[in-house]
Amino acid sequence: MHPYVKQVLETIEKRNRHEPEFLQAAHEVLESLSPVFDVHPEYIENNILDRLCEPERQLIFRVTWQDDSGKVFVNRGYRVNFNSTLGPYKGGLRFHPTVNLGIMKFLAFEQIFKNSLTGLSIGGGKGGSDFDPKGRSDNEIMRFCQSFMTELWRHIGSSTDVPAGDIGVGGREIGYLFGYYKRLTNRFDLGVLTGKGVDFGGSMGRKEATGFGCVYFAKDMLERKKETIQGKTAVVSGSGNVALYTIKKLQELGAKVVACSDSGGYIYDKNGLDFDYLRQLKEVERKRLAVYQSKYPNSIFKPNAKVWEIPCTLAFPCATQNEIQLPDAELLIKNGCILVCEGANMPTTQDAFRLFESKGVLFGPGKAANAGGVAVSALEMQQNAALTSWTFEEVDRKLQAIMMKIHNTCVECATQYDNPNSYVTGANIAGFKRVAHAMMAYGVI
């Protein structure tokens, strides 16, 4: 490890000792950057790394709301504006009981490099709340979103900070948030949020973008090795937006997807999952995966278990952070997995992804593989700024081109730094260098 990297990591650990997820993300990125500082001593002279690892702004606020019975609740809201070197802060809002400042910082930190890799003019940020939307009525979620926006509105804008959705925040929540922003500000500022409904400024293809983009990245990885998705067996963790559209695109490209999961366990269907029924359960009826058996009694629902125990060729972690740990990685390799492509943010621990790379398993890190969502969010911003809209096919073509560019950039950068088979190295260095060059150009600010 380069002495400068070691010094910065020691500083980060002292400042953020109670934030394990952020420290994990920082180690994963910084350790792979060591070769850069031998070539670019000017980054050390200007202390670029230390500056990059400290957020520009961190917001914490109270969110007070009432449930349908009139009971008052208090949650905590967050928005971490990590780095605006390349453009306005861009990153989703997450509503989940596990949300805390450390998780927001890790997500925002990852977003810097992910957004940089897209080649678009967007910086890195993230936000959310420890509010749990599960089991809440539409009216309760509306009241929470309105209370959340009562504070957030003063910190966001199309040229400042542009939130989107994430876990627990889909089209319904974005609609409530945008509606209340409009009421508070008396402005119809289309570019202030992305993930909007297509009837009021949203982009075709945004819902599908993260899942589709992840599969496009996997397709490019396989093609580099003279392989295809056609005929492969896949498992996908999660059953939210990213997981569902990962499943859809995999099936369109000829893979058989046999399992997916939710917080209660996983569903396994040896004949391949029925995407349309899954989408009905999750997007329309908002039911648990165990219900899948009511239509497909020969399928198996296994509670409190991980999909990684099912033999597969392709694995797509699309749920949450650290869901693939070392024992899971060992089991995937034993069962013949040749590719792991991250649809979620940091779903694989460092020990696990190092094992994948050492065993020759293709590994697509989230900051590259799941960049499709934020890429199409930036395309939505472009459409809003031009007061126009594109067809689904136009957006999908642009998404495929962006994902191929990200893939090729990762390969080129990894090769340049003598680690041609590491997409982690390529993604981290390529994402970092673009931000670092801009920071150098701005001077010390």
Digit-coded pLDDT (tens) for 405-414: 999 999 999 9
Q: How many CB atoms sit inside 10 A of residue 136's CB?
A: 16
Are residues 226 and 349 both part of a single domain?
yes
Q: Are residues 238 and 294 in the same domain?
A: yes
Largest Cα span, the chain: 64
Whole-angstrom CA distances from 292 to 261, 273, 275, 282, 309 are 11, 10, 11, 10, 20
In angstroms, the CA 167 to CA 95 distance is 6
Pairing of strands 339-341, 362-364: parallel
Q: Do 331 and 309 form a contact (C-beta atoms < 8 A)?
A: yes
pLDDT at position 360 over 90: yes
Residues 139-147, mean pLDDT to the nearest whole number: 98
- Residue 124 resides in a domain: yes
Q: Are residues 170 and 240 in the same domain?
A: no
**Predicted TM-score (pTM) of this structure:** 0.94
Task: Spell out the alpha helix ranges (H) of 266-359.
Answer: 275-279, 326-334, 350-358
Q: How far apart are CA 113 and CA 310, in angstroms?
A: 32
- Quick: pLDDT tens for 328-347: 999 999 999 999 999 999 99
The reply to whether 287 falls in a domain is yes
In what helix (H) or strand (E) does residue 83 lie, and over which residues does it extend? Answer: strand 72-83
Last residue of a domain, one of 321, 353, 369: 369
* Same domain assignment for residues 44 and 90: no
Indicate whether 151 pLDDT > 90.
yes
Quote the pLDDT of residue 388: 94
Please tell me whether residues 365 and 224 are part of one structural domain: yes
Co-location of 177 and 59 in the same domain: yes
> Is pLDDT of 60 > 90?
yes
Same domain, 34 and 132: no
Q: Give the model confidence (pLDDT) of 175-200 as tens digits.
A: 999 999 999 999 999 999 999 999 99
Half-sphere exposure of 390 (CA within 13 A, CB side): 21
Domain boundary among 369, 404, 439: 369
Q: What is the 3-state composition of the chain as percent helix, strand, coil, each rounded to the nearest 5?
A: 50, 15, 30
304 and 215 housed in the same domain: yes
**Number of domains the chain contains:** 3
100 shares a domain with 42: no
Q: What is the DSSP string of 185-234?
A: HT---GGG-SS--GGGTPPTTHHHHHHHHHHHHHHHHHHHTT--STT-EE
pLDDT over 90 at 47, yes or no: yes
CATH classification of the domain holding 79: 3.40.50.10860
Q: What is the pLDDT of residues 287-298, one digit of tens each?
A: 999 999 999 999
- Residue 434 domain-assigned (yes or no): no
CA distance 135 to 388: 37
3-state SS class at 317: strand
Tell me the C-alpha distance between 13 and 22, whole Å.
10
The verdict on 96 and 20 lying in the same domain is: no
Q: How far are the Cα atoms of 46, 87, 276, 307 from residue 316, in angstroms, in the given order? A: 39, 30, 19, 10
Is 196 catalytic? The answer is no
In a domain, 344, yes or no: yes
Residue 385 lies in a domain: no
- What CATH number is attached to the domain comprising 286? 3.40.50.720
DSSP state at residue 375? H
Q: Which of 90, 105, 114, 126 is catalytic?
A: 126
Amino acid at 432: F
**Which residue range is the domain that position 249 belongs to?**
207-369
- Reported as a single tens digit per residue, the pLDDT across 104-133 is 999 999 999 999 999 999 999 999 999 999
Would you tell me how many other CB atoms lie within 10 Å of the CB of residue 261? 26
Q: Band of the pLDDT at 445, cuts 50, 70, 90?
A: confident
Domain assignment present for 24:
yes
Q: Is residue 390 part of a domain?
A: no
Residue 389 forms part of a structural domain = no
What share of the chain has pLDDT > 70, as a percent? 100
Q: Is the dihedral of CA 205, 243, 225, 419 positive or negative?
A: positive
Residues 72, 96: one domain?
yes
> Which strands form 300-303's sheet, in the order they lie side by side?
300-303, 265-268, 256-262, 233-237, 314-317, 339-341, 362-364
Query: What gap in Å lies between CA 285 and CA 39, rounded to an integer?
Result: 55
What's the mean pLDDT when you consider all of the chain?
A: 96
Let me know whether 103 and 213 are in one domain. no
Q: What is the pLDDT of residue 46?
A: 96
**Whole-Å CA distances, 311 to 261, 285, 338, 362:** 15, 30, 11, 16
